[in-house]
Structure 1
Amino acid sequence: MKNVLILEDNQITRNLIVEILSGVAKNLKVYAVGNIYEAYKIAMTQGIELFIVDIVLDTSVLGDVSGIEFVDRIRKITSYKYVPVVILASLEDPKFFVFNHLHCYSYLEKPVDIDTMKKVLKEALEVPVIRYEKEYAYFRRDGILYSILKSDILYIETANRKNRIVCRKEQINVAYKSCKSFLEELDSKQFIQCNRSTIVNKKHIKAVDYVNRYIYLKEPGMVLELGVSIKKRFLQELMDD
């Protein structure tokens, strides 16, 4: 599964790019937004492996090049230093800057030729990207943002509309989220769902009893239940490095 972020203010163009992506590759998670604020939020919480960015995001501002500013900031983040970026624009002036300063994969002038876009996006998706995993996870409680070292998290419970994060030395109650939402935000293969309401850090698993459906953690006395419907998927993800 590859994550793609489209930053384009024109909804028709956004929809066209989404449609083209669906035709050139499978197993894509596509985020399509029209402003840099949403784009930053997604880039900071999801591991993006291809950016498609329009240079002009606000036509009401004369000389707007906020798309370039977005890419410039992204390039300063270690994990995005070499991630492919495809630029869309009807401008010629920034072309040299885009290629030589921001090291973008390609520059497509508007109106974009659809066949050319298909070719460029297909090739960009095939570029191998090294994913740098973030060390910390961030959770909010009572208006306060907590940072927790991912490696310290043993498991997370999402039962009874409450969330409990169990770490080596502490337990933290945070605002409710579903297991799916937690897994998306954690964005790490080390966390897997083991039953309907629990996510476990597989680095802390000592042994698994598949017959009786128990998961034994390395921490003394800690045992989790393995859900019947999740058992097969759990085994596959447990073996996935």
Structure 2
Amino acid sequence: MNVLILEDKKNNREALQKIVSSCTGVECVYTYEKSEDALKSAMDKHMDLFLLDIILEPGSGNDNSGILFAESIRKYDEYKLTPIIFITVLMGLERELLKRVHCYDYIEKPIGDGRLVREHIEEVLGAISAGKKPNSREYVPLHYDGIGYMVFMDEVVFFENKAGTLYIHLVDDEIHIPNYSAKKFNSMIHQTRFLTPVYGTYVNADFIASVDFRNKEVYMKDDSVIPIGGRKFKKFKEEYLGTAKS
């Protein structure tokens, strides 16, 4: 198995390289300080796992270059489902923000004796060796005001446009992104099924509790009620009934 480490600090890179090299099934470990070098390596050689620091340029305000690297990697078919573990220092607003958008696939620095890192890596590589793909949660990366968001689709109940702002309604939170369309956000979703009961609103099929076609209303599992628009009624009904049967 090949593992790529992207970390700006030399001592952390060396510590991570030592830990990863000791894991069962690891053949080669590639370490990089710069995103461009890491990306070139990932294009030249197949990587089975990425370990990424989120903050690669600590001198830059609101730096999230590790997330940007992850986003660029996901554009390639080869790496759409490749496991990524974020290893970073998260403090104050950054930590709360990532928790709020359900980005919990990370390990906090300091890494200590490395046992936690080793456990994560061996669990992922063990699943690959057994011929199974690790459970993959679809997410969409968003960027607003210099901050990176990772929005997991299995937490999105529905999203909509209101006065030019994208509102993403999560299981236990809500995200607002000004000047961002629901249509554009939907175009970035490839696995999770969303239906459109009314123009500008997309509902997660997995969160639909029931549909009242007589009164043209969709009842969501979080108790939200979404109207069904006249122009969308026929198509929504066909898509919903097709989803319910499958």
Interval containing the TM-score (normalised by the shorter chain):
0.3 to 0.5
| TM-score, with length taken from structure 1 | 0.48
| TM-score, with length taken from structure 2 | 0.47
